[in-house]
Each structure stands twice: as C-alpha cells, then as structure tokens.
Amino acid sequence: FRAIGSRRVLVHGDGPLAGTVRDEVARACARFGGSLCDGGEADLVLATSDHLPAHARAVLYGEEAGETGAAPGGDEAFPTGRRDRMTGTPDGDENFLVGRRGGVTVVAGEGAGLLYGLFHVVRLGERAFGADFPAERHRPAMRRRMLDHWDNVDVHPVMGQVERGYAGGSIFWADGGPRGDLDRVRAYGRLLAAAGVNAVAVNNVNVHATEARLLTDRLGDVAALAGALRPYGIRVHLSVTFAAPVVLGGLSTADPLDEDVRAWWAGATARVYEAIPDFGGYLVKADSEGQPGPFAYGRSHADGANLLAGALAPYGGVVHWRAFVYDHRQDWRDRSTDRARAAYDHFAPLDGEFAGNAILQVKHGPIDFQVREPVSPVIAAMPRTRLAVELQVTQEYTGQQRHVCYLAPMWREVLGFEPWGPGGRTVAGVAGELVAVSNAGDDPYWTGHPLAQANLYAFGRLAWDPGLGPAEILDEWIGLTFPDTADRLREPLHAIMNGSWETYERYTAPLGVGFMVRPGHHYGPDVDGYEYTPWGTYHFADRDGVGVDRTRATGTGCTGQYPEPWSEVYESAERCPDELLLFFHHVPYGHVLHSGKTVIQHIYDTHFAGAEEVAELRPVWDGLVGLVDPALHARVRELLDEQLRSAREWRDQINTYFFRKSGVPDAHGRRIH
C-alpha cells in the first residue's frame, strides 16, 4: 500500500464497497503520509463510472481510446483479456479500467470493480505511477471465484473443527458456535478480496447435526458472517443437507418430487433471504460418502439439484451440486467397478436436465485431488449444464501444508487443458466458475505453512485470469507479502517454490497411480494402505507390474469417457503421456517410457531425485535470515525439516516396496532398504 498511501488520492463512489475503498485508502495514507482528498489535483483517482469526474473522462474517451489489442503475454485460448488495451465503459460490476491522465485513474463499473481496481494498483505499486504505464481494461474470466470451507461448527470427533484443515481452527466457528471474532472474519474478507475471491461457503460439505441448523435456527450466525464479508464483495453460501426437510422440518420424506418437501425448501429459503438478502446459495454433497441424497427416493441428481434450484430461483441464488458421487463401499475384488468412471457415469446422462441456476461442481480430476490426475471427463461431457471446476487449495494430498507445494503450475495445466485436443476450447473456457477447498484457518499466517499462502492467492488470481503464469503470480505474491525485501527474496523463493509441485510428485505416488497415502489422515506413505479397502483407490502392483487398466480393450473402459483425441491417446500405452501411464494402464516394470527409462528405473530415479531436491531447500531458506520476520523464518525452517524427513520416508518406502515386488535392482546401485 505504500505507493498509494504516500500520494494524494480521490475516491468517488457510493455504497458499502466504495466505503471500503475509502477506508483502505485512508488507512494507507495515515500510515505512509499521503492524503485522501475531496477534490482538486490527485495522483490517483478511483471512481465508479457514474461518478466519473470530468478530467477522468479523458481516460475513457481520450487519446487512449483508439488502442485495442490482445493482452501482452495473453493467450488467445483463454476466455478473457485481462489486459485488453481498450476502452469503453467498464460494463460489469467487477470490471475496471486503469489509465493515466495526469494522475492514475481507475474507473470501475460498480463498487466491486473499484475494490478490485484498488487492489490492482496495490499489486502494481510504483509501476502504476510510471509515465509509460498503458491503459488497460480488466474483467474476471470467472464470474464466481469461490472458496468452500470444510469447517464444522462442532468439533468433529475424527475430523476436528476443520475437515482436512492444516491451518489451525476455523476462522468462523469454535466449539459448537460462532467464533465471534468478526474482526478476524473481516481481515479474512480483505485477504480474499485482494486475491479476487468473491464467494465463500462457510461450512463443511459433510453436514452434521449442528451444522444442518445453520439453515434454520442458527441462521443468525451465518448472517453475521455475511455482514462481515459483504464490505469486501464476498457473498456467503451454505452447505445444506439434502435430508433437511426430515431432520429439521420433521417431514417423513425428503423426496425431491414431494409437494410438502418443495414447500419446506421454499419456506426455509425465503427466511434465508429475509436474513441475508444477497445470500449466494446452497452447496450440496449428496449420495456421497454417506451424505443423504435423492437416490434414497429413486430420484435422479437432476431432480435433487432442481428442487433446491427452484427454491433459490426467485431470489437469484444458485445451487452448487457436487459431482463427487461414487461407491465408497466397493469390493476390492470387483475389477469392473472403477471409481474414476463414477462421476461421468452418474452425471453425463443428465446433461440438459439441470435448471439454469444449478451448477454442477466437478473435481478437476476423476478420482480425488491427487498430485497427478487426468482432467475429469465430466468437463467435456456436459455442454448443456453449468459447470464449476473444483480445486483443492487445502493440501490434503499434497503435503498438508507441512510440505512446500506451490500448486499454481498444476492448476494452470488443468485450466489450459484442451479436452477436444490442441487448438480447441480449454477447461477454463468450458467452466463458468472456479471453486476451491480453502486452506485457511485461525493460524497467525492464515495457512499453517506461510508459503502455502501463495496457493490461496494463486487460486484467486487464476480464477480471475486463467492465462496468468504461475511464476508471474508467485512474483505478485512475493511483492505483496514481503514489500520491503521482495527484491532480494524473489530469486530464492522462486527457487524453492516454482518446481515444488513436481518435486512432491517425484517422491510420492509415481506416474499418476495416486493414493499410496496412510489411510484416514492421508499424510505420509503407506503403499498398500488402501489396496484392499472399499474406497476404490488401488494400484494393483504385483511381481510383474503396476497400474490400473482403464482401457476399453481390456480394462474398465474409462478411456472411452474422453472425446478424441484423448480417448485414443489414453487408450494406448505407447501414446499415453508418461505422467499418466499408471492411471490408465497396468504395465510390466520393464515397460519403457517416452523418457527412455523403464517404469521401475523411473520410480527409483524420481524418488532419489525428489528427496534430494527437498534437501536443497533448507540451505536456500537459511540464507534468508533477516529478510523475513524471524518467527516466520523459524516456522518455515521447522517445516522444511519435516518435509525432508517425510520425503526420505516416501523415497525409502516406495523404492523398497517396488524393489521387493519386482526384484529388479537399481541400475545405479543406490541404497534401497
């Protein structure tokens, strides 16, 4: 905020969001010596288009008006130009223009755009005030950029306050009730707005007894959160149980086609909107891992989703309906059931049946947030359904915020993937919105591992603009997080973080096979931990080979769920990309990859390399003493030690396991236990 807070700034606009912008600027000026002025010459003008002062109109309609063109560094395949050099009115409440006419001028559609414009100038810092800074128009690629909190109100006996949370307790809830610290909720809203997030689901998709009541007698707690987040342009959504008419309403059924059930949802929803007029909508995990759903009544998931969509429609709300539906009571002996197929098998036949305000929320991969998966085939299969792609910012399967694992490179790959082949539409182009499971909690650094903040930030930025590069986003984050020492931190932090996802992949489950984590908490290696369980996550390693045969020819047929060319590429063990080979094929250990290595030698090499890469991080981090806060430095140092311990454990368990299975020694004679 120094670049803004040290200048003369004018803010024009009405309403709560403009008020937030004014407060932010006033606070920055008090800190850095600038002033929030009422008129006259200013270094920075922030105005909504209906409040545009005469001199700022030139930015819109003046010399810059002729310039049009694609974003510098932008990618045609991505849906919007974040930096289109064009002018016009910023049509859309979140859109804004930045340009120069004397001072820097930000013109926004409405208050939300003003807020995003402010944070954009913060990001740019002094660069925004340079004479040669070009006029730009910014607008989000995704209309909704949403975080799902898996937070429980009651402390769950197994999952704790936050399911799969690695950053302390919930920001919203504590010990069975609201946490009550709305200052912290406001600070969180500010953090999210700075990253571009505009929607939050405030409770776990596994809705237990107390949490179910957030919809009814505990609605006031949700309204309080909505009030705290509203000034930062964030709408609140609620996870609800499909059984609510029974468990809360005392009805004998939750059948989506039952008239009383419809009436119950209509009434409950009317009361929600009375309390929270800008309520976002419902989020539902149905018929999944024990949650109730429409199957109990012989109804389809379109029937279920449309029931809630109907209740929400009069108020402009939406229902996010999760596609994470599979049989978690599978018999491991049954080779015909394939969890990777499940979402497509359940939902693709329903394309076209969902209401216009029902959004099918699809995990990015077919299984469950593994370090490497193909893109979910559902994304290409439902052209007549609104889709949201779900990412996991919380690092359940990627080191649980004890390991450095910068996930933007993975997400960028997912969003840039072309389901219909090179040159076709991208996942980002197909998905109307992006959702992620949150990684924040009441930890002083928000995210447990201080460097995991970069994942939260990157999620918001990629949802705004999927064309941004991971390194570019990381650069922004470094600048914003360590404003005084960023210049000296950039190189070492890029060295630690840029390749950390691939490093994590190297020392964990190989070649897309997935899981191999310790059942239950999912941290650390346990190669056969899930092999004979009902969860459907198997690797089928034996003395001859490893991997899951998902081909049409001899396996589960999952490859047939993809359009061409991928259906053909994945079907063929020769053409399948190395990193997904064991996701789609069961191959002998001697199978030669495109890399020229055998599968077994690849396993040994990547596991030795991955653990070595982790060993190199600590000295780099040690060199940063004095450049970051000492407590933060110490926290990361401890975590890096744990990461190294864990990476070595992974290396040794995986290498030993496959050596024992295959009997094939390491070509380089390294130590395998």
362 binds ligand GCW (CB under 6 A): no
List of residues 6+ apart from 183 with CB closer than 8 A: none
Three-state SS across 573-600? CCCCCHHHHHHHCCEECCCECCCCCEHH
How many residues at the interface with ligand GCW, by CB under 6 A? 10
CB-nearer residue toward ligand GCW: 306 or 361: 361
Looking at residue 442, the DSSP 8-state letter turns out to be: S
CB-nearer residue toward ligand GCW: 130 or 534: 534
- Of the candidates 354, 350, 196, 219, the one whose C-alpha atom is nearest the C-alpha of residue 275 is 219
Which candidate in 289, 487, 616, 622 is catalytic?
A: 289
Provide, rounded to whole angstroms, the least separation between the CB of residue 155 and ligand GCW.
15
- Of the candidates 204, 190, 74, 230, the one whose C-alpha atom is nearest the C-alpha of residue 139 is 74
Q: CA-CA distance, 204 to 350, in Å (whole number)?
A: 26
Residue 368 appears among annotated catalytic residues: yes
**DSSP-derived 3-state class of residue 350:** helix
CB-nearer residue toward ligand GCW: 392 or 598: 392
Provide, rounded to whole angstroms, the least separation between the CB of residue 459 and ligand GCW.
16
Q: How many CB atoms lie within 10 A of CB 130?
A: 10
Helices (H), 40-159: 54-61, 111-124
150 binds ligand GCW (CB under 6 A): yes
Among 7, 12, 237, 285, binds ligand GCW (CB under 6 A): 285
Residues 321-350 that bind ligand GCW (CB under 6 A): 324
Q: CA-CA distance, 291 to 209, in Å (whole number)?
A: 12
CB-nearer residue toward ligand GCW: 20 or 395: 395
Residue 531 appears among annotated catalytic residues: no
CB-nearer residue toward ligand GCW: 362 or 558: 362
CB-nearer residue toward ligand GCW: 477 or 515: 515
Which candidate in 94, 163, 287, 368 is catalytic?
A: 368
Provide, rounded to whole angstroms, the least separation between the CB of residue 485 and ligand GCW.
37
Q: Let me know: does 517 contact 510? Beta carbons within 8 Å.
A: no
206 binds ligand GCW (CB under 6 A): yes
Residue 396 appears among annotated catalytic residues: yes
Looking at residue 563, the DSSP 8-state letter turns out to be: P
Among 71, 194, 205, 603, binds ligand GCW (CB under 6 A): 205
Provide, rounded to whole angstroms, the least separation between the CB of residue 243 and ligand GCW.
16
CB-nearer residue toward ligand GCW: 505 or 571: 505
Residues 47-86 that bind ligand GCW (CB under 6 A): none
Q: CA-CA distance, 513 to 538, in Å (whole number)?
A: 8
148 binds ligand GCW (CB under 6 A): no
Provide, rounded to whole angstroms, the least separation between the CB of residue 503 and ligand GCW.
22
Provide, rounded to whole angstroms, the least separation between the CB of residue 499 and ligand GCW.
25
Q: Is the CA virtual torsion 133, 139, 142, 147 positive or negative?
A: positive
CB-nearer residue toward ligand GCW: 84 or 148: 148
Provide, rounded to whole angstroms, the least separation between the CB of residue 390 and ligand GCW.
8
163 binds ligand GCW (CB under 6 A): yes
Half-sphere exposure of 225 (CA within 13 A, CB side): 26
CB-nearer residue toward ligand GCW: 164 or 386: 164
- Of the candidates 458, 395, 465, 445, the one whose C-alpha atom is nearest the C-alpha of residue 195 is 458
Q: How many CB atoms lie within 10 A of CB 154?
A: 15
DSSP assignments along 190-238, one per residue? HHHHHHT--EEE-S-SS--HHHHGGGTTTHHHHHHHHHHHGGGT-EEEE
Residues 460-519 that bind ligand GCW (CB under 6 A): none
Residues 640-669 that bind ligand GCW (CB under 6 A): none
Among 368, 549, 571, 605, binds ligand GCW (CB under 6 A): 368
> Residue written as tokens 């024009």?
12
Provide, rounded to whole angstroms, the least separation between the CB of residue 150 and ligand GCW.
5
- Of the candidates 221, 200, 199, the one whose C-alpha atom is nearest the C-alpha of residue 154 is 221
Q: Let me know: does 530 contact 563? Beta carbons within 8 Å.
A: no
370 binds ligand GCW (CB under 6 A): no
Provide, rounded to whole angstroms, the least separation between the CB of residue 148 and ligand GCW.
9
Ranked by CB distance to ligand GCW, the top (closest) residue is 368
398 binds ligand GCW (CB under 6 A): no
Q: Which helix (H) or strand (E) holds 532?
A: none
Which residues sit at the interface with ligand GCW, rule CB under 6 A? 150, 163-164, 205-206, 285, 324, 368-369, 396
Give catalytic residue positions: 289, 368, 396
